[in-house]
Amino acid sequence: MSTITLNMQAVGDAIAAAADEARRPRDSVRLLAVSKTFGPDAVIEAAGAGQRAFGENYVQEGVDKVRAVAAALPAALTDLPLEWHFIGPIQSNKTRPIAEHFDWVHTVEREKIAQRLAEQRPDGRGLLNICLQVNISGEASKSGVAPADVAALARAVAALPKLRLRGLMAIPEPTEDFDAQRAAFAALRTLYDDLREQGFALDTLSMGMSADLRAAVLEGATIVRVGSAIFGARHTNKEPQ
């Protein structure tokens, strides 16, 4: 059994244990395998082990990988198509390839970016699933819309064609304090619940990575983003963003 397969099993076990602890169905939490800096072979290997959702941070690398994997994917794996999530920062001049090649975008923080994604989404690609990135810890260096401005951005995005607003995403300030981890995720969940009470049809909380996965699941994460625990230490990527 390959290293990636074994690693995926270990991550799956960790997600299942956290879901059990939270008294949630195990299938209420989806694993997003963050494949940035790893080649198409790693994605295909993970797909062979049952993984279907993959996350990319860099536009050109991601687009190239989407194409390469589609061309090389074994016929036995094509019955369940892969799902590609863009989870990196978005520059306005990079929206077109994202709109054309990805199924999800987790990092919308400005109405202008959402408008460009809507305008550039091809007619035959279906709705582009959108999460709003929230700067939940208030870090000056961190991307994301301020919590106080989430509702206004949600209204703007929900009104755009070719997009489907699914939920919220955050990358809280790193900490090893478990209670602090939970507090940040609880704050995002509260924003999510508030939006749902206002009538937004949300179903996604994209939060939690390897180091804080348990806290995220306990606070309601529906997607956790895990990379190095699956694929190993990352390679250097010098693509300008």
Residue among 46, 40, 34 nearest 7 (CA): 46
Residue written as token pair 């062979």: 48
Question: For residue range 197-215, what is the model confidence (pLDDT) as tens digits?
Answer: 999 999 999 999 999 999 9
Would the CA dihedral through 159, 128, 85, 207 be positive or negative? Answer: positive
Terminal CA-CA length for the chain: 36
Question: For residue range 69-93, what is the model confidence (pLDDT) as tens digits?
Answer: 999 887 767 777 899 999 999 999 9
- H/E run at residue 193: helix 178-197
Q: At residue 131, what is the residue type?
A: C
Distance of CA 192 to the CA centre of its chain: 16
CA 66, CA 63: separation in Å to the nearest integer? 5
Question: For residue range 143-162, what is the model confidence (pLDDT) as tens digits?
Answer: 899 999 999 999 999 999 99
Residue among 100, 78, 58, 111 nearest 227 (CA): 58
Residue 127 has pLDDT above 70, yes or no: yes
Lowest mean pLDDT across 18-22, 104-108, 121-125, 234-238: 234-238
Domain edges within the chain: 3-231
The domain defined by 3-231 folds into TIM Barrel (3.20.20)
Percent of the chain past pLDDT 70, that is, above it, reads: 96
